[in-house]
Each structure stands twice: as C-alpha cells, then as structure tokens.
C-alpha cells in the first residue's frame, strides 16, 4: 500500500522552517477538533492532498467544497494535515512515511503529531461538576530525553513511559534518526462518545505559547465545552429514577 502527496496546483507551499502538524482522530476527537478550529481561525487554504487507492471512499464537504479523507492546509509558517476518519491500520505507516518525506522536501522545521489520551475518569461521580484539568505530555524521536525548553515553559510534561499508537506513534518511530525534529503532543481527554472541546483548546493553548506565529483565542472552544457538559448533565438528570410511588412507563397502560 502507498500514499502519495499531491500538491494543489494553485497552492502556495510554506516557507522553509514551517511546522507540520498531523491531526487524526483519537480520544475525544481532540486532534480533529483542534485541527478544524485552527483551520477556521487562521483561514488556512488547502495546499495538498494525501491520496491512496486504499483510503475509504469518502468525501468531506466543507463550505460547498469537496475534500478527500486526508488533506493538508497551510500558510508560510504552518502545515496542518487533517482527517475526520481513523485510517486502516495498513495505511498508517505508509502515510507517516509520506508525511516525513514531504516535510523533508519542503524543508520543514519539524513534524508534530497530536493525540488524545484517556487518563481522565469519565464517571460523573468521580469527576463531579468540575471537569479535571487537562494535561499535556511531549515525546520526541531525538536522542535527548530532555523536554524542549519551549514546551516546558508552556506547562507540558515529558512522557517517561507509555505507548503511542496511530499516525503519531508511526511518525515517532520513523522519525528516529531523521534530520528534522519529530515529536508528539498528547493531551488528556475524555472518551465518553462526544468531542472533547476542552482537550482541543488545551492543545491549541500550548501551540499558542510554543509557536510565536500562532495566536488563537480558545474561549469559544471552552464555551462550547461548557454547553455540551451542561446538556449532558441535564440529560443524565432526566434519566434519574422517579421518586417512590410515582408512575413510570412500565405501569402506564399506553406503554403496555
């Protein structure tokens, strides 16, 4: 299986030193939500496609424009590779290889995978009404175990032990010994069946501190998270058992 990079005919490629960020769905859909938000706020044009005969036959329609399952957006400082769909396992390594090869060709300053992970409990009794603080870890393919200073200043923790799967894991492995820095940011996210906007906001806030050319207000994302959480709490309360003696749908004739 192979994956090819297909640049847009009218797309302007980034300047040397640009950062390549990959956003594929994982826990809480945090990478995909973050990618879409960055795309919308920075108004990034589509600059290329990642194509393969083995990708699922799906089209993503955005603003009336047809997009393939995996595509790239960018400006002079940033390349954002985005997908809403999990890749077939057999395509992950070829796609990561193409990302690294393309990053080398455009003389990128580095490649960074975004991943959501699930250290947070999702039981409402454990979390209460106050959501837990998001945490972010960094892992890099370089020989040094030290956390880069800019990530440390942004409150990111070094990942000491763990397993990273998906595109980010493949990028890290294939990035061993590469001529450009390859890393991954892992953000704690809920995996309760709905998008975790808080986790997405946390990733963007880290990028905002690490990358001087990325300035994004995440308040709308956190507001959306609050709206979703309030709706979920209301839904949970609406399903609470009725008080003793009150009729239920089990003993009403209309439901017999």
Q: Which domains does the chain have, with CATH numbers?
A: 4-216 (3.40.50.10900)
* 54-103 pLDDT tens trace: 998 999 998 899 999 999 999 999 999 999 999 999 999 999 999 999 99
* 210-225 pLDDT tens trace: 988 888 888 888 888 7
State pTM to two decimals.
Answer: 0.84
* 6-55 pLDDT tens trace: 999 877 889 999 999 999 999 989 999 999 999 999 999 999 999 999 99
- Could you count the other beta carbons within 10 Å of the beta carbon of residue 131? 15
Q: What's the half-sphere exposure (Cβ side, CA atoms, 13 Å) at 229? A: 19
Contact 47, 13 (CB under 8 A): yes
175-201 burial, b if ≥16 CB within 10 A, otherwise e?
beebebbbbbbbbbbbbeeebbbbbbb
CA distance 255 to 52: 52
* 100-145 pLDDT tens trace: 999 999 999 999 999 999 875 444 444 455 556 789 999 999 867 7
Contact 110, 183 (CB under 8 A): yes
Q: At what angle do helices 219-238 and 197-210 cross, to 10 degrees?
A: 160
């Amino acid at each position: 299986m192979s994956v090819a990079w297909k640049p847009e005919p009218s797309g302007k490629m980034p300047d040397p030193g640009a950062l390549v960020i990959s956003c594929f769905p994982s826990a809480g859909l945090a990478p995909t939500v973050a990618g879409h938000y960055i795309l919308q706020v920075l108004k990034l044009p589509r600059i290329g496609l990642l194509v393969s005969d083995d990708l699922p036959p799906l089209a993503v329609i955005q603003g009336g424009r047809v997009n393939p399952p995996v595509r790239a957006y960018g400006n002079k400082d940033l390349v954002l590779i985005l997908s809403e769909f999990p890749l077939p396992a057999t395509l992950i390594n070829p796609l990561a290889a193409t990302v690294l090869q393309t990053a080398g060709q455009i003389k990128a300053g580095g490649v960074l995978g975004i991943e959501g992970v699930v250290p947070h409990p999702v039981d409402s009794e454990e979390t209460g009404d106050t959501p837990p603080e998001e945490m972010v870890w960094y892992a890099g393919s370089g020989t040094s175990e030290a956390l880069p200073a800019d990530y440390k200043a942004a409150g990111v923790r070094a990942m000491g032990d763990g397993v990273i799967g998906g595109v980010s894991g493949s990028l890290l492995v294939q990035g061993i010994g590469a001529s450009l820095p390859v890393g991954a940011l892992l953000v704690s996210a809920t995996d309760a069946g709905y998008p975790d906007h808080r986790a997405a906001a946390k990733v963007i806030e880290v990028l905002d501190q690490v990358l001087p050319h990325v300035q994004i207000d995440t308040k709308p994302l956190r507001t959306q998270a609050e709206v979703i959480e309030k709706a979920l709490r209301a839904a949970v309360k609406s399903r609470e058992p009725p008080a003793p003696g009150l009729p239920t749908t089990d003993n009403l004739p209309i439901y017999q």
